[in-house]
Structure 1
């Protein structure tokens, strides 16, 4: 009977997570936070040898984000720039890696465009985010292609039966959002439906002759649920669709980007006391086209990626210290519905992986090996190896070696106006020394790393002067990330610092749009009725290319201050106010683009 309850509890954990993840009430440092993205198994975050950060739902509600990047402010080791407003093109640099070298997952599903090779994160509705797990450093031995800088996994919201929420937000640039969610079912069958609709007039994002506001709108609908067949077997699912448009300024082509994306993940889990198996069927669609500037829908170029993922994962637990994991994965990317005439429109990627995790009282160790075969490109064997030593019960130091790779995109290989089918993988190697533990009254995480990235794809002319992508680039990246958090009574303090030297190996120059130095401080307060925060973010100077003068320039450093306050009127009603960039620093993040100026947002929500 005891084993039956253990199995039922474990399966409920899996269902709630969407991908092996659960978090306890985070009211103090002794609470247990379980993560999955680091090693694709459930682990106490204090036992992971990778540098992992988790953004919980209470943090999301406190920050009142307008986009996913608002959640990444003062996450050490992460830098980002936006070409104008919240719905514009955004680049995220994890530990200095290129923005397309960061793997983005939503509920375990690899999402994004196979032509561009990355996910447009501005499409992700923040109202539907339950938590975010961020793993820094290469993770190819666990996740395959793209995970050179790291992995960002978004988990969508889930409500218990009878729980519900409605929220309304208004703010600067005539921005408004309505979101609603409801949970229903029973202990055996449980589902959640969430919906959000957001729109904004925006502002003129580019410094040019097109003097109009660039607005945006987004509709997002998700259904998430689980069915517990018995004490050992469970089905869970998530289906989500996003549709919207974003205006932008350009001299060529349309100036209104439309997208219609969706994904689903159906999973079966069988768990016994010492063995867990899961099979998942996943499909996603990333569809975009641009109109405007005399281009109508009929004549617009459309780019569509349809992706199928078939995954089998297993975990065998031999003792309290030792577990072995393994799995196979088959991914099919299809761009046949794209209007451009690509030489190849379908690609299969097959992989197999195995890992061993040892968690002892003093010594900890991780080993993961994965083999990937990408059709018509190459194959690669990736390794992650980590060894940890507990200096004390709450202090851990680890040394990690990890590898990453990125497969060339369909644009790199087969774009009709300059593709190169001879391209191979971009490759990386990383060594990291990590400390995390309790220091004084707070917790410290400090990592120092050294990375080399080779075979970077760059556009260069050949002997005949014809420009095409080639594997000719190399980058050397060194840095350090620090996070120190203190929780005292109703107050929390968080200090962050990052140093990132990301240099072109050929020139020795810092890679564009990446700041070497970043510092942050955040003060939070939670009382009986009031909560609030003050967030300070300092970003050092960063290089960029001025595309008007075709010269390299340095963008100024800046300090942004964000403020927020919430008032719990009663057990159901809550009022919130958020001020971004309170002192109107309006920092330019990308040359040639107007920055986001000071913003105000007011939210009223009812939760039952």
Structure 2
């Protein structure tokens, strides 16, 4: 926690400096362009959910909270603010890819991302892509992928936004960002900060969450420059997290974890004849330190540098056939107290195709082959199609082969790593339907995933745990998304969003449901707006989830409600304030066994545009 004051000063400095920017009225980025354009162009037959700003701001504490209340993804969270890992369509955390501006950023050590270390306010757009994405985004995109994108525009923009938050358990947060364009230049700079004592009551237990303090700081720079026949962009991100790990109902926490990540991506897009070309260079850095006792200096840690170079060329023929070819080279150099010094080289060749056969029907075929890794590299493919039966009804279908490579921990862990591991492979199919009737929109999807060679840590000789390829799983289920917007008059409106999922995820050897995969999950938000005032109610239902492989123990199902309200000053529409009351009925609930989640708590906020 020693760097907390440095980060607070940085936030205050940016907020103060931004306060002198001029803005005649509230503006929004017009005609924005995403750094990862392939997400939309080559996903026509896949389910894409883009989260709007209003939904994100209602659950802005972390990406965990944002996705928990607005998607069908289940999160296994070791107490509020602690390690958080997703289960997307019943898959595990390492089978869910997190993609930053087109780059897979899952850790080279664990193969996953901790969603409590990510601020949802740090990005222009958050999109959830359901289904296999291994061809486009590489290892881990089995159940689906979470896309964190930055956008840019060269139209006139002069905006500065500042937000301040304070809440229960001594929680303080702030964010500030400014976006400016001049001539052929675009610049976006921002910071986000949150700190909490996190000492919430365990409902009905006469206990408190102790040793759960956390700090998160994020900074970003996004820059773009228009060229004669193209665009040059730079995306940069810095993240710092310092957390004490809280205990459980039966244990006291004393360990701590600190991590730093930096990400930089440079891209040059250029029109060359009939081809749109893009050259990319990226550097990713991650470092962690684990403290068995937060009061002592002793710790173990590791760090990794990832270098990525890519070149792609795309052609769009007769406004119907889009072809994209890409070659990407990745070099990873990592060292750690528990994994030694190791490296990995990967060369990938990718071909993407989308064909709009008619106004109603288009389809895509995508292929990927990797080389150079020290294990067999599976050939990956995907195919998707979408048919608009009418303006109110459409069908989509997709299927794919995906994979997950062994992580550095799997291969090199000093007390059990297995260098003979092979990548996990999976096959998946999805059939989806999209409906719209007036202001009512709905999406219903059924999916099936079959996986083999799953990497599983099992006890070996002398009680030593070691990862081996043994498990086979089968996942299938249904997802439904509903949205409805009704405007009664110029002053009154009602906005409703809801989602539901049924997930069956089986270990075929044990014939049991996988742990921490609830059969049922539902969430929804209803918001009523009148003039400058709005109020909303938000609900979340998580069904029972097993916590042991024999399904003998579980965490109970629960339902949690939040309410919130905000008011925009009529004489100054640049200022908005409000509050949120979370866990309104003070429900006791757990996402992980014996690790209670927060009691009833309050958060107030002030947002203004300058």
Quote the Cα distance in structure 2 between the aligned partners of 1:266 and 1:167.
Answer: 29
- 1:423, distance to aligned residue in structure 2 (A): 0.2
In structure 2, C-alpha distance between the alignment counterparts of 1:363 and 1:499, rounded to whole Å: 29
Residues 132/374 of structure 1: CA separation in 2 closer, same or farther (3 Å cut):
farther
Two-structure CA RMSD over aligned residues (Å): 2.7
Cα distance change, pair 259–450 in 1 and its aligned pair in 2 (3 A): same
Q: Contact between 2:256 and 2:291, CA under 8 Å: does it hold in 1?
A: yes
SS across alignment from 1:345:
strand
Pick aligned residue for 1:102 from 85, 96, 102:
96
Closer/same/farther in 2, CA of residues 412 and 192 from structure 1, 3 Å limit: same
Could you tell me whether the CA contact under 8 Å between 1:396 and 1:435 is conserved in 2? Answer: yes
**Could you tell me which residue of structure 1 aligns to residue 5 of structure 2?**
none
SS at match of 2:411: helix
Q: Does 1:531 align with 2:534?
A: yes
Contact 2:473 / 2:506 at 8 angstroms: preserved in 1?
Answer: yes
Distance apart, 1:125 and its partner CA:
2.0
**Residue equivalent to 1:285:** 285
- List runs of 5+ in structure 1 lacking aligned partners: 1-11, 21-35
Q: How many corresponding residue pairs?
A: 567
Partner Cα distance (2:179, 2:269) in 1: 22
Q: Could you say what secondary structure the match of 2:502 adopts? A: strand
What does residue 326 of structure 1 align with? 325
Matches within 5 A, 1:91-490: 91-156=85-150, 161-203=157-199, 212-230=210-228, 232-249=229-246, 255-271=255-271, 275-291=275-291, 293=293, 296-297=296-297, 299-336=298-335, 338-342=336-340, 345-359=342-356, 360-373=358-371, 375-439=373-437, 441-462=439-460, 466-489=464-487, 490=493
CA, structure 1 residues 177+204, in 2 after alignment: closer, same or farther (shift >3 Å)? closer
Give a deviation string over 1:286-333, Cα, whole Å, max 9, x none: 111023627744x31112121111122222100222111111111111
C-alpha separation in 2, matches of 1:397 and 1:294 = 54
Give SS of 1:163's match. Answer: strand
Shift of 1:351: 0.6
Q: Which residue of 2 aligns with 1:491?
A: 494
Distance (whole Å) between structure 2 residues aligned to residue 293 and residue 104 of structure 1: 30
**Structure 2: which 5+ runs fail to align?**
1-28, 488-492
More displaced stretch, 259-268 vs 101-110: 101-110
Q: Which residue of 2 aligns with 1:568?
A: 568
CA displacement 1:27-78 (0-9 Å, x = unmatched): xxxxxxxxx4255x5x7xxxx21011111223323x1421112211344531
Matched residue of 1:142: which SS?
A: helix
Contact 2:236–2:265 (8 Å) recurs in 1: yes
For residues 471 and 239 of structure 2, what CA distance do their matches in structure 1 show?
36
SS in structure 2 at match of 1:545: coil
Distance 1:555 1:538 in 2: 13
SS at match of 1:114: coil
Q: What is the SS of the residue equivalent to 2:94?
A: helix
CA offsets, 1:359-417, max 9 Å, x none? 22232211101112351122111111123322113421122111110000011111111
SS of alignment partner, residue 173 of structure 1: coil
Rounded to whole Å, the distance in 1 between the matches of 2:339 and 2:481 is 48
| Deviation of the 1:184 alpha carbon | 3.0
Instruction: Report the TM-score, using the length of structure 2 for normalisation.
Output: 0.87
Q: Per-residue displacement from partner, 1:495-554 (whole Å, max 9, x unpaired)? A: 3211000011111211111100112332123443122321111111111139xxx98312
SS at match of 1:293: coil
Partners in 2 of 1:15 and 1:313 — Cα distance?
22
Q: Which residue of 2 aligns with 1:52?
A: 48
1:83 to 78, 84, 91: 78
Change (3 A) 1:416 1:15: farther
Contact 1:398 1:433 in 2 (8 A): yes
Three-state SS of the structure 1 residue aligned to 2:68 is coil
Task: Tell me which residue corresponds to 1:29.
Answer: none
CA contact (8 A) 2:190 2:220 kept: yes
User: 2: CA distance between counterparts of 1:228 and 1:97?
Assistant: 41
- Is residue 2:572 matched to residue 1:577? no
TM-score between both structures, scaled by the size of structure 1: 0.87
Secondary structure in 1 matching 2:379: strand
Q: Check conservation: 1:139, 1:151, Cα contact below 8 A.
A: yes
Question: How much does 1:13 deviate?
Answer: 8.8
